[in-house]
């Protein structure tokens, strides 16, 4: 087996490091969803995590891994999503500055949330090159450490703690499904789950309008994200140089679902489980309700990670 960005030992160390700082989120079930899926489903509720998403795990682990001298100079990232809020809060908890580059088109509510957690926001043009350039300038100016949203060993290890907890609570799982965007959650959870329980089957869940991971798996070679178009706005990124090899080698497959299937799954969770999940967090449920996954044999007890619950209550998703 080739070396990967993190190991089970790294995930276990992350779990010890972040204990008491991040929430140990509950695992919930729903008889209605079990019946519709034809399987027993267990949901790891990272929508109830601090900042409303699993991202707080990886951000906290990465910030706590810094030396005192490194931490004093602060941390930098470019993100308009959950990682921006997660890193800002993780930095505030450690008492160090967080410099967050956000596109000028980011919703005001997201900018306000980052600033509310103590992040120092720099706005830039809404493209990757501008974001990376602005982040590089901040690193050069401040000496802060760049902590990207997913392609970082400590971030991957931190995200894997969600699967570690899930398998501690439900050791009988046959399979695990997580959403996949940049791949930090899927990669970390794969390392953790297969390290703890060799033979467990791990799958990615992805919108058909942003299906680079599925295309990459089908081609057995990394494929870039091109013109993504989906309501699952947390899953628009290509997999990374650290996350892709883990997904390539260890993840059994990546299932895709349409936006209408995501809406249906999201509404079912809201109505039946009384839980708010964002579109990106509902893709795993949508997969289990689809014909392709229902045809899969030998996965009778399935864990699903609700990756986040940050939605705009002014937006009518259905």
State which H helix or E strand residue 69 sits in.
helix 68-73
- Strands (E) in 115-224, as ranges, are 120-124, 145-146, 175-179, 201-207
Please check whether residue 159 is in contact with residue 188, taking contact to mean a CB–CB distance below 8 angstroms. yes
Query: Sheet of 27-28: strands edge to edge?
Result: 27-28, 40-45, 301-306, 175-179, 201-207, 253-257
Choose the catalytic residue: 79, 80, 216, 307: 80
Distance CA 107, CA 109 (A): 5
Distance CA 72, CA 78 (A): 19
SS3 state at 146: strand
**Residue 79 annotated as catalytic:** no
Distance CA 306, CA 303 (A): 10
Residue 298 CB neighbour total at 10 angstroms: 7
State which H helix or E strand residue 70 sits in.
helix 68-73
HEC sequence for 258-285: CHHHHHHHHHHHHHHHCCCCCHHHHHHH
Residue with tokens 């088109």: 105
**Residue 55 annotated as catalytic:** yes
Residue with tokens 């700082």: 21
Bridge partners, residue 273, by sequence:
none
Choose the catalytic residue: 55, 110, 111, 217: 55
Residues involved in catalysis? 55, 80
């Amino acid at each position: 087996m080739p070396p990967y960005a993190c190991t089970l030992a790294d995930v276990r160390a992350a779990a010890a490091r972040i204990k008491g700082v991040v929430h140990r989120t509950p695992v919930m079930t729903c008889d209605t969803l079990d019946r519709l899926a034809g399987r027993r489903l267990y949901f790891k509720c990272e929508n109830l995590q601090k900042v409303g998403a699993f991202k707080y795990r990886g951000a906290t682990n990465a910030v706590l891994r810094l030396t005192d001298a490194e931490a004093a100079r602060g941390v930098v990232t470019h993100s308009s999503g959950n990682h921006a809020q997660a890193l800002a809060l993780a930095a505030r908890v450690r008492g160090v500055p967080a410099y967050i580059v956000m596109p000028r088109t980011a919703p005001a509510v997201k900018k306000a949330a980052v600033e509310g957690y103590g992040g120092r926001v720099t706005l830039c043009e809404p493209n990757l090159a501008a974001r990376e350039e602005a982040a590089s300038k901040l690193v050069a100016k401040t000496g802060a450490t760049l902590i990207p949203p997913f392609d970082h060993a400590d971030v991957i290890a931190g995200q894997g703690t969600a699967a570690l907890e899930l398998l501690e609570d439900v050791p009988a799982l046959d399979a695990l499904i997580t959403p996949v965007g940049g791949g930090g959650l899927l990669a970390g959870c794969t390392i953790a789950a297969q390290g703890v329980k060799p033979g467990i089957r791990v799958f990615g869940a992805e919108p058909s309008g942003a299906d680079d991971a599925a295309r990459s798996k089908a081609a057995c070679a990394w494929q870039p994200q091109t013109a993504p178009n989906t309501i699952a706005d947390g899953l628009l990124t290509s997999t990374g140089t650290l996350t892709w090899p883990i997904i390539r080698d260890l993840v059994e497959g990546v299932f895709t679902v349409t936006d209408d299937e995501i809406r249906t799954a999201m509404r079912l969770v809201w109505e039946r489980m009384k839980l708010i999940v964002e579109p990106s967090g509902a893709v795993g449920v949508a997969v289990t309700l689809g014909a392709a996954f229902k045809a899969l044999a030998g996965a009778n007890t399935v864990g699903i990670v609700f990756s986040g619950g940050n939605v705009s209550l002014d937006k009518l998703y259905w």
